[in-house]
Amino acid sequence: MSARILDGKRVRDEILAELRPRIAALPRPPGLAVVLVGNDPASEIYVRNKVKTCGELGMFSEKLTPPASISTGELLDLVRQLNARPEIDGILVQMPLPAHIDSRAVLHAVDPAKDVDGFHPLNAGKLVENAPAPRPCTPNGVMELLRRNGIDPAGKRAVVVGRSDIVGKPMALLLLHANATVTICHSRTSNLARECERADILVAALGRPAFLGRDHIGPGAILIDVGINRVDGKVVGDIDEAAARELASAYTPVPGGVGPLTIAMLMRNTVESAERRVR
């Protein structure tokens, strides 16, 4: 039996199609401001795709591109100006920021109601207690992918490899809220292969190309590959795709799996913010 491919593009298109009538029902287009500091090539591609998707949906987007030399204080002023603008429903500060900037202070300065990345500590706290709030886009996109493919995490053993604030930790919490039994693994985990091999659902978010291979995958596991790594001009995930095809019951390809969902969930968070603020 060959593994089922979990197609992120199909799910993205479903989510965006559901947003169109909600956008049309609003008295004004939802507004997203994206702040891109400096000129990191990968960040520029992400931002271009976000702005393009806004345009396709009939949303208002504004891209701000301060130079890499901007100070923390100047960037905080810029964020506060966006907080005060009524036509802006979502503010996204593209990470990573230059090393001299206090990234945490910048993320904390975003109005929690406009924090469409779900990174503000208030929204992170609401995620912990499972209260309504914007959820981080990539982990929430993974949950949509599972749901729309008929995969219920309840009662399953889920292993998340990676403990970042952006993916690993919120992914573990969302799976926990969906009644999975969750293990978080990281660079200090002893016998990583044994922990991974026990997983019914294995989420790879460690940023190391094809690092998880045959030894890490239990027969029939569901594999969610969040990794985006560039190797010799090719984009590859954190899971060895040949091993995934052979051993898994279902897996997300890279590219075309989790990636498309991140922007779809960003758009949904922005529309929901506009709906709340219009009400």
* 115 is annotated as an active-site residue: no
Look at residues 32, 36, 39, 37 and name the one whose alpha carbon lies nearest to residue 53.
Answer: 32
Which one of 89, 114, 115, 117 is the catalytic residue?
Answer: 117
* 81 is annotated as an active-site residue: no
Question: Does residue 219 have a cis peptide bond before it, meaning omega lies within 30 degrees of 0?
Answer: no
Strand segments, DSSP code E, in 94-210 are 157-161, 181-185, 201-204
How far apart, in Å, do the first and last CA atoms of the chain sit? Answer: 50
Which one of 89, 94, 114, 156 is the catalytic residue?
Answer: 94
Q: Rounded to whole angstroms, how far apart are CA atoms 93 and 33?
A: 8
**Which amino acid, 197?**
E
Q: Rounded to whole angstroms, how far apart are CA atoms 36 and 106?
A: 13
Instruction: Give the active site residues.
Output: 50, 94, 117
